[in-house]
Structure 1
């Protein structure tokens, strides 16, 4: 029997008055970038890389020294949370990591071997010591090539808006994290304190194919909106390293994005922050992080940007449920499966076709989202479902938009007669 896993992440957004460029959060909905223009000419940064947003007038800019990265007092290398000063990095190496210049002028970076999650961990930190120049509304950019990944958890993780991320000062470790995994998937995650204040992933989707052995451009962008009451988070990729950028993730945090840990653990740090704290503050450190990989980089830079002035995000509520279920549609027929998230007042109904998977290569799956208290339907939903088999090979994707009870289709390439499947972390976006 072949087990089919339906896997995406559930995100329900209630949208009222919004700008048409607001997030869709679907992997297939990547759109052309909002490239900054001046007299119809695309503006670029110091390295010739296209800007998504213009640099703020007199804003802070940092560019890596491609001749000697460590010959920069604002730049330091650490691994797995330990602090390392530049002065200890003799010959560009330390107990925490290594930076080696490649023949093509790029640099290879990797950490030390460690058991578990932090194998080869690297933290390249950019410190804006002057409080007036702390990182808040920023565009972090670079080109990367994964040389080796040592586990399925291999990922780049770039973040900002906090200080040190160490257990001895837990409340300093606040950030928005933008991830790009070696397999080509992306995500956003919030850290309210280190390490007990992590949320679930948002926009946790496949954006491209494997990064092994090829150059890819990565931009992660964060800026405040709604009079500094909410934050917009975006990821762009230059998939072929040709300076053509596409948006692959777009998330708004204006509340309701909660830390995963139980209340007693979350509040034990005494940071004075709510469990869905919105990180609107600036911070002195921005970090280019990686775990479980060796990778090459070039042209890393961070710019303080001028966010668009016309973005309006009113009464947006983003909700997540991590409930999962497994059942056999041949047994349950038309029975509707419910996911109830009381914390966020949402009920999601998900119904497989009883014919699954006997209708050729087409599987019909119906869904709707309701307000848990009133039972009213949330309209204009989008759903994206990725199907993988028991060896985690991606075998199909389906998408549907615009109807409160619309079916969406999954095109599959294998047969699983009488096979059960599980629905885990399904993805939905709904608006009223």
Structure 2
């Protein structure tokens, strides 16, 4: 009840800064006013203690009891007399609302009905109160070990020690738990989408128990325990999947440990007596290498290219001779398996390390490609290729060029951070596989992001089984989307829109198909 609802309203005139006051009531009304004050207090009911205290203080001041500044009233009683049992300010008065021994006193810390009493079981601020939110024994208390909202509570879903807590790192059912075998984001989980093995070739579509049924993301699963494509199963002829092959796009790790002439990890073993080429100490004298623009040597052994349209061609040991290409008909090329000669670049692993020092368009890219000859408008059907692209801004994708110029392109994936100002290794790998009894092409892109030559990560893979893009009917194909399963005499290291690029450790190897 508010103070303005009290039935009596005596008026008071007080001289501020003086001891003069006048009360507009008769002296005989004192006892009646005390009774009214007591009634007012009783009617306040469960109002908050601080509101009650304010109203009490105000009422006492208003009553005055004829005593201003310690003057006794006409009955000889001092209004502040501590021995007066009717004195509302008497601390020894059991009915005094300000008396600490008064069980009805809302400010009495010993009062069990006092909401501010720490021993009061109904007090919301009482640490011993089971209904107190700050009480350790309170089920609503965040510090209460039996509180379901308590982070230290084993039954609390937000408790790191709670086995049912989805954020609990020790919880076997927690999707964010690194020890959770069912966690797809758990790097220690054998069922995790990214493969985390260190050996064995990628399961792939052809790869034994790794195969397409594996749990790795992308079109292939991981061989072996590294990616649950098959425990200990072979990831293909390229290497055992038992210790973990690649885990699909974005998740694979280096599947082999053989090194090339530069100390770079070979992802797949070289074909015995197969074609191979590597950048030598003086590439300007290499007849199998045509940079088509001037290159200059750097003090660290790398080379610099400043042209903004680069097509550095690498020929097989047979060399390039367009007159030796008997046909561009797609059906005949697929039947023969090559465009110019039997040793054309077909199942290959292309490697290059590059550093972009300056570029006019950061969205442009490096592109390693093969399975065709020269790309020119006058012989457009000679210009077939599969291209692995790594963009200067870190994106990656794969392109299928059925002829020059006709492209099908996969969606971009974010592979790495920006390439500007740092060395990075990049590989494009392609080889023929069999899908549903027909020849198809497996394509992969790998990145050595820290340029240590050893730590490679697969960032893209794609299978062309004749259902992806293309317009090969222009060059005689019955199926315009047919895969380009033949080899070509030229492999190319390409980039555009970069005004200053350093490169090193280029190589092309014919691989033993996994």
Q: TM-score interval w.r.t. the shorter chain?
A: 0.5 to 0.7
1:282 — aligned with what? 487
1:298 — aligned with what? 504
2:347 — aligned with what? 137
1:172 — aligned with what? 382
1:104 — aligned with what? 300
Distance 2:459 2:400 in 1: 18
Alignment partner of 2:285 out of 47, 67, 71: 71
Q: Secondary structure at the match of 1:70?
A: helix
1:50 — aligned with what? 265
2:424 — aligned with what? 216
Alignment partner of 1:225 out of 426, 430, 433: 433
Residues 1:129 and 1:22: Cα distance change in structure 2 (over 3 Å):
farther
Contact 1:76-1:125 at 8 Å conserved across structures: yes
Contact 1:55-1:305 at 8 Å conserved across structures: yes
Normalising to structure 1: TM-score of the pair?
Answer: 0.55
Q: CA deviation at 1:298?
A: 0.5
Distance 1:215 1:295 in 2: 10
Contact 1:171-1:271 at 8 Å conserved across structures: no
Q: Is structure 2 residue 400 aligned with structure 1 residue 194?
A: no
Q: Secondary structure at the match of 1:170?
A: helix
Contact 2:429-2:444 at 8 Å conserved across structures: yes
Distance 2:502 2:219 in 1: 28
Q: Secondary structure at the match of 2:342?
A: helix
Q: CA deviation at 1:166?
A: 0.2
Q: CA deviation at 1:100?
A: 1.2
Distance 1:282 1:134 in 2: 5
Residues 1:144 and 1:19: Cα distance change in structure 2 (over 3 Å):
farther
2:370 — aligned with what? 160
Residues 1:102 and 1:224: Cα distance change in structure 2 (over 3 Å):
same
Q: CA deviation at 1:273?
A: 5.8
2:218 — aligned with what? 24
Q: Is structure 2 residue 313 aligned with structure 1 residue 125?
A: yes
Runs (5+) with no aligned partner, structure 1: 1-13, 37-41, 79-96, 112-119, 309-432
Give the structure, 1 or 2, with the largest relative contact order (CA under 8 Å, sep 6 or more).
1
Runs (5+) with no aligned partner, structure 2: 1-204, 221-246, 319-340
Q: Please state which structure has a larger fraction of its residues in helix.
A: 2
Q: Secondary structure at the match of 1:178?
A: strand
Q: Please state which structure has a larger fraction of its residues in strand.
A: 1
Residues 1:108 and 1:21: Cα distance change in structure 2 (over 3 Å):
farther
Contact 2:249-2:459 at 8 Å conserved across structures: yes
Contact 2:350-2:428 at 8 Å conserved across structures: yes
1:353 — aligned with what? none
Q: CA deviation at 1:142?
A: 1.4
Distance 1:126 1:273 in 2: 31
Matched positions, count: 255
1:33 — aligned with what? 253
1:257 — aligned with what? 468
Alignment partner of 2:513 out of 307, 312, 316: 307
Q: CA deviation at 1:132?
A: 3.0
Cα RMSD after superposing both structures: 2.7
Distance 2:423 2:438 in 1: 35
